Amino acid sequence: MGARSSVPATVYEPLDAAALDDRQRAFEVWDSIDPGRAFRWCSHAFFMYTFGGAAGIGRARAVFRAALLGRVADFPYVYKEGIYLEAHDVGDVEAARRLLREWRARCAAAGADDLADFWRDAVRFELSHGDAESARAAVDAAVAECPRDAGVRAQCVVAELALGDHARGRAAYDAALAALAGDDDGGGVGVMELNERLRLNRRYLMEMTTFGGCLGLCRRYRWLRPPRWWEQL
């Protein structure tokens, strides 16, 4: 969950502007003593959103923007939390998508070789907030840029299965096995990670796929249908 609050902002009584300003000053003093802590910056942004009333989202965005303008080195963490705030709490999917594009551009500008973290989040985001076309576009881009990352490959398999296309999901899994087999260890470690990540997503897939919610999670009635291939990993 990171720095996020699980309680909607509307549950809390908003603080007045003076109290919020005091909180901001206290945060700045603490950051001057122990600077650049991504979790603290994001927690402060969520505090401002939660207790800021009508001005809360503006204050939260200002905190995130300051963090992304060099105050915090761990910018991927900040982008993740900012995207969550916009998409989940505020409900502004386009604002969240702009942050996602900005994150990708920043990785490119920094010459980042490891884009796996970004692409895992990008695929999850489009799966949750986009449509089948945007989710598959993210899957294709992720595989193109991170062909031998087991985590990215697993997320792409999950996306295809969650979209309801079991044939494409199986094809994505087979392609992942072939790609990971080219690793120095023959793919052993990568395949183990791939399968473990798919096992960790099993419950989610059962809820997302046809009849999964009413049959797949109830072991007592498993005999009503044959197990799907990903349930046997």
pLDDT tens readout for residues 189-222: 889 999 999 999 888 887 776 555 555 455 555 5
Residues 40/77, Cβ–Cβ less than 8 Å = no
Residue recorded with tokens 């950051």: 31
The full set of domain ranges for the chain reads: 1-118, 144-233
Note the pTM of the prediction, 2 decimals.
Answer: 0.85
Q: What is the DSSP string of 122-160?
A: HHHHHHHHS-HHHHHHHHHHHHHH-TT-HHHHHHHHHHH
Which is more confident, 35 or 6?
A: 35
Contact in structure between 7 and 25 (CB atoms under 8 Å): no
At 185, the pLDDT band (50, 70, 90 cuts) reads low
CA distance 209 to 164: 6
The predicted-structure confidence for 57-98, as pLDDT tens digits, reads as follows: 999 999 999 999 989 999 999 999 999 999 999 999 999 999
pLDDT of residue 227: 77
Q: What is the pLDDT of residue 197?
A: 94
Q: Distance between CA atoms of 38 and 162, rounded to whole angstroms?
A: 32
Highest mean pLDDT among 8-17, 139-148, 176-185: 139-148
| C-alpha distances out from residue 146 to 110, 149, 151, 154, 171, Å | 17, 6, 9, 12, 17
Amino acid, res. 36:
G
Q: What is the pLDDT of residue 232?
A: 79
